Amino acid sequence: MENHKAGFVNIIGNPNVGKSTLMNAFIGEKLSIITSKAQTTRHRILGIVNGDDFQVVLSDTPGIIKPAYEMQESMMQFVKSAFEDADVLIYMVEIGEKELKDEAFFNKIIHTSIPVLLLLNKIDKSNQEQLEEQIALWKEKVPNAEIFAISALENFNVKEVFNRILELLPLSPPYYPKDTLTDKPERFFVNETIREKILMHYDKEIPYAVEVETEEFIEDENIIRIRSIIMVERDTQKGIIIGHKGAALKRVGVQSREDLEKFFGKQIHIELFVKVSKDWRSNAFQLRRLGYNQK
């Protein structure tokens, strides 16, 4: 145990830059949901990589935004907490991006005493010239960071980043039992999988007006029976989610089932219901109940 290394590696950055894609690439499992829409991640999700002599506790966080309603305020609290307990900070940017929309966070990053790895992501979409220009730009903006050009999607340079993390981690016993993969319960992954399908298939305000809650998760030897509630803010949204003759909701159910069967390695039976909970995104009681921390 004397040579054991362990620590927290926290991933922060603007929405949609690929933070969750990176986390999943490190873990080798689909822990965090990924979509092309901004604000896909709403919570802080831990993903743990265990080795004989190390434990890397990664944390995926929501993209940094200026909060417009209470749920987003709570999302930014998750980002702040990720700052506070980091042993290594990963600041992720994507090709073509200029800087963090939130100046206060940006200042924290450039002045922190924690080692910062700046990951320039999505380089599969760039050419050599653009890449060099971007690296020079970020060197100037975040002089305290080590820069890695990566593609989280194509798993390019991800291993190199991981090796560097191992070098930077302090000597420490593990924080979690060595077979732990995440801090979130099974129902969380059910909720998130369903929410991912909703983000993928609906537009405008719908993705942001939806929260999912799993009421029943009953695991038998060969099958898991799930009943989940899709919560929306308005009656009109309920109609849109269900769709003509229930076809839209059915598609969400079928695709969620397929993903969850892979994730849990068991047959899944899933029932979905849609419920209106007026303005839940600004309702302190609902937010607390749904696991968003309140000040």
Ligand X SMILES: Nc1nc2c(ncn2[C@@H]2O[C@H](COP(=O)(O)OP(=O)(O)OP(=O)(O)O)[C@@H](O)[C@H]2O)c(=O)[nH]1
Q: Are 15 and 38 in contact (CB under 8 A)?
A: yes
Q: Please compute Rg for the chain using Cα positions.
A: 20
x/- contact string, 104-143, with ligand X (CB under 6 A)?
A: -----------------xx-xx------------------
Separation CA 92–CA 144 (nearest Å): 14
Cβ proximity to ligand X, 41 vs 224, nearer residue: 41
Q: Is 67 annotated as a binding residue?
A: no
- If one asks whether residue 43 binds ligand X (CB under 6 A), the answer comes out as no
Is 74 among the residues that bind ligand X (CB under 6 A)? no
41 is a contact residue toward Mg ion (CB under 5 A): yes
Query: Taking a C-beta distance cutoff of 8 angstroms, is the pair 58, 49 a contact?
Result: yes
CB of 15 to ligand X, least distance (A): 4
Give the nearest distance from C-beta 219 to ligand X in angstroms: 28
For ligand X, which is the closer residue by CB, 149 or 226? 149
> Rule CB under 6 A: is residue 59 a binding residue for ligand X?
no
20 or 191: whose CB is closer to ligand X? 20
Least Cβ distance, residue 268 to Mg ion (angstroms): 24
Q: Does residue 63 belong to the site contacting ligand X (CB under 6 A)?
A: yes
- Only one of the segments 136-144, 145-153, 189-197, 235-243 lies at the binding site for ligand X (rule: CB under 6 A); that segment is 145-153
* Residue 115 marked in a binding site: no
| Residue range at the interface with Mg ion (CB under 5 A); choices 33-41, 76-84, 109-117, 268-276 | 33-41
| Helix 158-168 with 19-27: angle, nearest 10 deg | 80
Which structure tokens are listed for 92? 């992720």
Would you count residue 16 as binding Mg ion (CB under 5 A)?
no
Q: Which two structure tokens, joined as six digits, stand for 34?
A: 């990924």
121 is in an annotated binding site: yes
Q: Is 256 annotated as a binding residue?
A: no
Q: Which of 20, 24, 193, 256 binds Mg ion (CB under 5 A)?
A: 20
Binding ligand X (rule: CB under 6 A), the pick from 10, 20, 228, 256 is 20
Note whether 152 binds ligand X by CB under 6 A.
yes
Residues forming contacts to Mg ion in the complex (CB under 5 A) are 19-20, 40-41
